[in-house]
Amino acid sequence: MPAGAYTNSDFFDLEVEKVFRKEWLPVGHVAQIPNVGDYFTIDVLNELLVVVRGRDRIRVMSRVCLHRWAPVCEGSGNAKVFSCPFHRWSYGLDGQLIATPLMEAKGGFNPRSCSLPEIRSEVVCGTIFITFSDVARSAGELLADWTEAMEIYRPEELKIAYSVEFDLNFNWKIAVETFMESYHHIGAHATTAEPYYPAKLHWVDDTREGWTAGHGYLREDLPTSVAFGEFGGKLDPFPSLSEDQLRRSLVHLVYPIHCFFIGVNRLHWTALIPVAVNKTRWVRHVLVQPEALERQDFPEIVERLRQSGVKITEEDMAVNDMQQKGAASSFAKPGFLHPLEKPTWQLSDYVRRRLGS
């Protein structure tokens, strides 16, 4: 894909129209809202959203007050109602307007006819997906084969060990490509990932309709225990993994922006949310088995995982910042791709097909 696809604002606007407002986008994981009334907020494509577990189901709604547009909530927490700080218009967990102070003097106004707009959503493998399209195919149907592939990890049952967010100063495609391709292990991750999972032991599947996957293997001379010990924070592996699976690492991309690193004992749930042509919001939740939270040494494990995870992410960010800067050069042309960069071609093909439609 030409460098302008990473730097041109008009091209980004076309992606918003043809890709992001038509496809399924990840906004969170069910582990963030385990109890009735739990909520968190997230901004997607300039839409201010709240994700809340109601008494009947999970909803994703606009959090913009219907009165004078102030957000009715920020951050995360637990609530019985959402009350706008401006004029105290209040809404139930289902978005229904339930309180409008002093508005009884306004004849003909019926609060019961007003609700916060709900965005279409589905939960697949624990991920809460949204789409702004009324005609998009069901996420569950589109990702049926991905659900089957993820079943062994029970992602909907996992708990959050820690979360981290980054504001990236580069295009969303750069972030996705780097997450998925392993060729850069020999450079950016020469002292972190490459000594354990060398680039030469990786390969990438052919594209499926809704997702793709990359595979890596632990270095041949290292014992399998390194995968969940030294490299894996010393957490117990997922049950029922074979010896071959214990030596394997995986990366998944659910098009267009939902990425997973799948270790033998944890999942790195990642959303790479486009903000502008050269701005991306990275949201990550590291998911672990519920019993891990009961370990006395769990805080130490989390800190080890956090430090190693942040270090690898910062290594990516450093080279991606340089890449975004270089893409603005008049001499920046599409380069020859290594087979390990197959996900870069796959993503480019995905975008081309969506823009062509």
Q: Could you tell me the residue ranges of all domains in the chain?
A: 1-22+157-357, 25-135
The band of 357, judged by pLDDT with boundaries at 50, 70 and 90, is low
**Sole residue written with tokens 């032991």:** 201
Cα dist from 68 to 61, 87, 307, whole Å: 17, 8, 43
Which residues are registered as beta bridge partners of 131? 120
Query: SS3 letters for 59-84?
Result: EEEECECCCCCCECCCCEEECCCEEC
Taking every pair of Cα atoms in the chain, the longest distance, rounded to a whole number of angstroms, is: 79
Residue 229 has pLDDT above 70, yes or no: yes
Residue 121 has pLDDT above 80, yes or no: yes
Residue 106 has pLDDT above 70, yes or no: no
CB contact at 8 A, 78 and 38:
yes
Measured distance CA(160)–CA(163) in Å, rounded: 7
The burial of 35, by beta-carbon neighbours within 10 Å (0-12 exposed, 13-18 middle, 19 or more buried), is given as exposed
Q: Which tokens hold the place of 97?
A: 């307007």
The band of 68, judged by pLDDT with boundaries at 50, 70 and 90, is very high
Measured distance CA(146)–CA(97) in Å, rounded: 38
- Specify the DSSP class assigned to residue 35: S
Q: Which tokens hold the place of 226?
A: 């390194």
The band of 161, judged by pLDDT with boundaries at 50, 70 and 90, is very high
Least confident span in 137-146, 201-210, 223-232: 223-232
Strands of the 38-44 sheet, one edge to the other = 25-29, 127-131, 118-124, 58-62, 47-53, 38-44, 76-78
CB contact at 8 A, 12 and 19:
no
CB contact at 8 A, 1 and 332:
no
**Sole residue written with tokens 């659900």:** 147
For residue 157, the model assigns a pLDDT of 97
CB contact at 8 A, 284 and 272:
no
Torsion of CA 123, 124, 126, 130, to 10 degrees: -50
Query: What is the residue-averaged pLDDT of the chain?
Result: 95
CATH class of 25-135: mainly beta
**Sole residue written with tokens 């992410």:** 313
> Could you tell me which residues come within 8 angstroms of residue 310 by beta carbon, excluding any fewer than 6 positions away?
164
Query: SS3 letters for 205-236?
Result: CCCCCCEEEEEEECCCCCCHHHHCCCCCCCCC
Measured distance CA(30)–CA(121) in Å, rounded: 12
- Name the superfamily (CATH) of residues 1-22+157-357: Naphthalene 1,2-dioxygenase Alpha Subunit; Chain A, domain 1 (3.90.380.10)
Cα dist from 81 to 40, 98, 165, 225, whole Å: 13, 9, 27, 48
For residue 228, the model assigns a pLDDT of 85
